[in-house]
Amino acid sequence: MRYLDLHALRTTSEEKRQAFEASIAANFPGLNRWHWSRACAAIRGENVRRNDDQSQDAALAADEDIRTAHDAYIAALHAYYRARDGEGGFLGRASS
């Protein structure tokens, strides 16, 4: 894999991350990806301690636009890491 290919994959993943974060901001002003992540965890029943307003958790976690943008970001990020580190990832490599 050439450096330019890796650079393009990394750039794409950053663009997808920005789109994901913009989707949250557009649909839930004042909230960010950390609010979304904690809302999803809370809806799944995980024990997450929170000091912020939780009144929008259900709507935030269920928003399809945000979920779609997140899934696109994660797919692009994983494509970059697979190209950079191989299928097993850097930490998954056997030591010689």
By the 10 Å C-beta count (0-12 exposed, 13-18 middle, 19+ buried), 70 is classed as buried
The verdict on residue 93 lying in a domain is: no
57 within some domain: yes
**What total of structural domains would you count in the chain?**
1
- The answer as to whether 36 is a domain residue is yes
Residue of 88 and 20 predicted with greater confidence: 20
| Pairwise pLDDT comparison (12 vs 92), residue with the higher score | 12
Q: pLDDT at residue 16 above 90?
A: yes
Average pLDDT estimate for 10-31: 97
Helix 3-27 vs helix 64-85: crossing angle, to nearest 10: 160
Confirm whether 94 is domain-assigned.
no
Range of the structural domain that residue 13 is part of:
3-46+53-86
* Domain contains 91: no
Residue 95 belongs to some domain of the structure = no
**Over pLDDT 90: what percentage of the chain?**
64
Query: What is the pTM assigned to this prediction?
Result: 0.82
Domain contains 18: yes
Does position 51 have pLDDT exceeding 80, yes or no? no
Calpha distance 5→11 (Å, rounded): 10
